[in-house]
Amino acid sequence: MRVLVSDASVLIELSKWSLLEAIFALPCEFAVPDILYEDELLDLHGLTREDLVRLGLRVEHLDPKGMEKAAGYQKRCPQLTLHDCFAITLSAINEWPLLSSDKRMRQTAEAESVEVLGVFWVIDQLEAEGVVSNKTLAEALAVMLEDPRTRLPASEIRKRLNRMRGND
């Protein structure tokens, strides 16, 4: 089964939109570095970190070489947090895709030939696999569109929202 390494922001956003539990029904596994799990997965809108593990989240540990590699990423790109660098490293070492919407993380991962996927990929997979209804996805997209903190392109949100509502 395909494993995807997620950064914290994707999981937090999916929880805010009530879609986090649904991703564990997709035909893939989700993993995070242990340091990210401990430090960043704090506000998951009713879900605990332990709930995520019960749902299937993999919590992975980096060995000393991996930790060195992560420190190297942070040295080269100081705008990235150590947690970001651990996620990129976990992806690079295992050749697992990275799930992130952060531009700097994406650029760093792509420079390392790591496949990068984003929130829209998750939304599209939830739709394609029929994990949640189009109505539920449309409601989540509408919340995304109205949230002033959403950094996702409004045009892409609207495109999917129209499709979910049958307005293609």
What letter would DSSP give residue 97? Answer: P
In the chain, what are the domain boundaries?
3-119, 130-164
Question: What pLDDT, on the 0 to 100 scale, is given for residue 101?
Answer: 87
Question: What pLDDT, on the 0 to 100 scale, is given for residue 148?
Answer: 84
What b-and-e string marks burial along 94-130, b requiring 16 or more CB atoms within 10 Å of the CB? eebbbbbbbeebbebbeeeebebbbbeebbebbbeee
Taking the model in full, what pTM does it have?
Answer: 0.91
Q: What is the CATH number of domain 3-119?
A: 3.40.50.1010
Q: How would you write the pLDDT of the chain (168 residues) with one tens digit per residue?
A: 899 999 998 998 899 889 999 999 999 999 999 999 999 887 788 888 899 999 999 999 999 999 999 999 999 999 999 999 999 999 999 999 999 988 999 999 999 999 999 999 999 999 999 999 999 999 999 998 898 888 888 999 999 999 888 755
